[in-house]
Amino acid sequence: MSTTYVAAAGVVDDRCIVRPRYDVADDGSISWAGNSDDRGAPPPAERVRDFGRALVVPGMVNAHSHAFQRAIRGATHGRAPDDPSDFWSWRDAMYHAATTLDPQGVYAVTRRAYSEMLAAGITCVGEFHYLHHQPNGQPYDDANELSWQVVRAAADVGIRLVLLEVYYARAGADRPPLAEQRRFCDRDVDAYAGRIAALRAAGVRVGIAPHSVRAVGRPALLDLATLARSLDVPVHVHVSEQPRENDECQTEHGCSPMQLLASVGLTDRPRTFTAVHGVHTTAADHAVLADQHVCACPTTEADLGDGLLPASELRAVGSRLAVGSDSNAVIDLIQEARLLEMGERLRSGRRSCLAPDERGRNLGAALAAIASEGGASSLGFHHLGRLAPGYQFDAAVIDLGHPLLAGVDPTHVLDAIWTTGHAGLVSATVVGGREYG
Ligand SMILES: [Zn+2]
């Protein structure tokens, strides 16, 4: 028994549709999408879900999250006399939270973060998960105890999950992990691969995630590249978030983080690698990322003083952009995409930087695609992130009656949403045909 979803006004991809209609099969996939007027006879009323005066846009895909960091929202802005109040002092506060969570705490904070994501129109999350073991580094009886808590939280909320299992080994070159980093660390790559196998056997979608070139040495990066290739799963890595990471990599390896990751084979497979942040990257790094993804996290990058992503340069060489909520201080991919564009304006002195054509047309649609299709591609999905036949019906419903949109010309409504809006515009979220909100 299929269901038909309609709305009074809507946009499918970059095509305006007067009254969009989506016929959705029981498996949550779209069997037909288009204008109601083109479809002929309407389906029985009991099978129609009418969203009224709303826009239906593709569900947003959050390509980078650390759910547990939701626990320190607003709590890191004081400044002690000897505190430089920079990325590294923020990290100390975050580590304190990381060391105090037990399995129930991980479940509770993750569920809270994912509930907020779903309400914000986010239908799928890539969780860059590195809380693995007990605070002293000893594995729990089940080495995947904390991963299962994340899986359970996502299932209970109803959001799609790709568990980007993090491999973490050290504090830096020739430095063992700090006490507060021990629970992030597996014994070795074999132990990590064992955890990955157990998760996959239970049907969990996973990705391979070396934390960063600071936290993983070259031999382990080589092994992780082999593992990712053999499993044919996505690879996500924190890359060049801070200048210090670049400096340390130059000292240890004589090259940039991106060049090191390429040299071990992690970027060999097209469209399977995602550089998270990529703020302090060069043209040579961008060349490596030409057929890969870069995940920007502008609210977190602003919060932590990381810098601005060279998004235009990356787009120019063919990189696919995605966005993530990262620290979850803010959970709002409309804001992430908006700030990605605004960061480019601040950096370049120009406007409509990420629009697909020279005249700046369809900027809103381009930002929407970054927040949906870009993330889906980054996480390895081929039928997610668009509202088209064969794709899953994952959607965010935008309330056109919201005061923020009052008086906006209908032909400019997408640009208004994506250049001035926020997640408060989302009135309902649909995941695989199941409605929340
Ligand atoms: Zn991160």
We report the CATH number of the domain holding residue 427 as 2.30.40.10
Task: Give the domain-ending residue among 378, 402, 428.
Answer: 378
Reported as type and span, the H/E element at residue 261 is helix 257-263
CA of 302 to the centre of ligand 1 (A): 13
Identify the pLDDT of residue 12.
Answer: 46
Of 269, 292, 261, whose CA–CA distance to 63 is shortest? 292
Residues 96 and 43 grouped into a single domain: no
CA of 354 to the centre of ligand 1 (A): 23
Question: What's the CATH number where 260 sits?
Answer: 3.20.20.140
Residues 209 and 335 grouped into a single domain: yes
Residues 69 and 48 grouped into a single domain: no
CA of 49 to the centre of ligand 1 (A): 38
Averages of pLDDT over each 10 residues, the chain, 437 residues: 78 62 94 85 87 93 97 83 77 88 97 98 98 97 98 98 98 95 97 98 98 98 98 98 96 98 98 98 98 97 94 96 97 98 96 86 92 98 94 95 93 93 98 92
CA of 404 to the centre of ligand 1 (A): 31
CA distance 255 to 238: 16
Residues 188 and 204 grouped into a single domain: yes
Which tokens in the block code for residue 405?
Answer: 């949109």
pLDDT per residue over 308-354, tens digit each?
Answer: 999 999 999 999 999 999 999 999 999 999 999 999 999 999 999 99
Residues 170 and 254 grouped into a single domain: yes
Identify the pLDDT of residue 410.
Answer: 82
With a CB cutoff of 8 Å and minimum separation 6, the contacts of 262 are 288
Catalytic residue among 129, 277, 280, 286: 277
Reported as type and span, the H/E element at residue 30 is strand 30-35
Which tokens in the block code for residue 429?
Answer: 């979220």
Residues 297 and 330 grouped into a single domain: yes
Residues 194 and 50 grouped into a single domain: no
Catalytic residue among 23, 306, 326, 415: 326
Name 435's bridge partners.
Answer: 430
Residues 358 and 389 grouped into a single domain: no
Angle at the Cα of 311 from the Cα atoms of 305 and 313, rounded to 5 degrees = 125
Residues 41 and 165 grouped into a single domain: no
CA distance 36 to 327: 41
Phi, psi of 98, deg, nearest 5: -65, -30
CA distance 60 to 325: 11
User: pTM of the predicted model, to two decimals?
Assistant: 0.96
State the DSSP code for 431.
E
Residues 281 and 372 grouped into a single domain: yes
CA of 412 to the centre of ligand 1 (A): 34
Q: Is 280 a catalytic residue?
A: no
Name 3's bridge partners.
Answer: 24
pLDDT per residue over 123-139, tens digit each?
Answer: 999 999 999 999 999 99
Residues 241 and 189 grouped into a single domain: yes
CA of 237 to the centre of ligand 1 (A): 9
Q: Give me the domain span that covers residue 9.
A: 3-58+385-436
Domain count for the chain, please give it: 2
CA of 245 to the centre of ligand 1 (A): 14
Residues 274 and 403 grouped into a single domain: no
Q: Is 92 a catalytic residue?
A: no
Task: Give the domain-ending residue among 378, 403, 425.
Answer: 378
CA of 46 to the centre of ligand 1 (A): 44
CA of 127 to the centre of ligand 1 (A): 9
